[in-house]
Structure 1
């Protein structure tokens, strides 16, 4: 299982395809899970796709050391 951060155009945009996708490296899983409030990947599976707040996005950006677009709606999910 792995964490995936994805970004979509805001609601109402005609293009509903994924515009940004980032698979979280395993060594960052726990730090990202902590930012989302999940205790494990299994808990993330139960939640499905979850929208992230702007604060969570910036925190995850800091953990990963990688920018995440601020003009998209960002969500997180666990893929098995």
Structure 2
């Protein structure tokens, strides 16, 4: 299992298509789980979680990659 970040246009839009998709390396899992306050990937697997601006900034630091700031970003678990 691994974490995936997906992005959609903010707010209520006619266009609800996926605008951003990033599969994260498993090596980041423990740091991101700790940041988000989840005990395990299994605990997160019940859905996708909307990331706050602060969480997006911290995840960007962890992965060493800029994430879009103009989208609603969600994180979830994929098998």
- Provide TM-score, normalisation by structure 1: 0.93
Unaligned 5+ residue runs, structure 2? none
CA-CA distance at 1:14 after TM superposition:
1.9
Task: Please name the residue that 1:77 is paired with.
Answer: 76
Question: Residues 24-77 of structure 1, C-alpha deviation per residue, up to 9 Å, x if partnerless?
Answer: 10111111111111111101113x111010000100000000010000001100
Task: Please name the residue that 2:10 is paired with.
Answer: 10
Unaligned 5+ residue runs, structure 1? none
Task: Please name the residue that 1:54 is paired with.
Answer: 53
4+ residue stretches of structure 1 with deviation over 6 A?
none
Task: After superposing the two structures, state which structure 1 stretch, 4-13 or 63-72, moved more.
Answer: 4-13
State the number of aligned residues: 79
The CA RMSD measured in Å over matched residues stands at 0.9
Task: Please name the residue that 1:31 is paired with.
Answer: 31
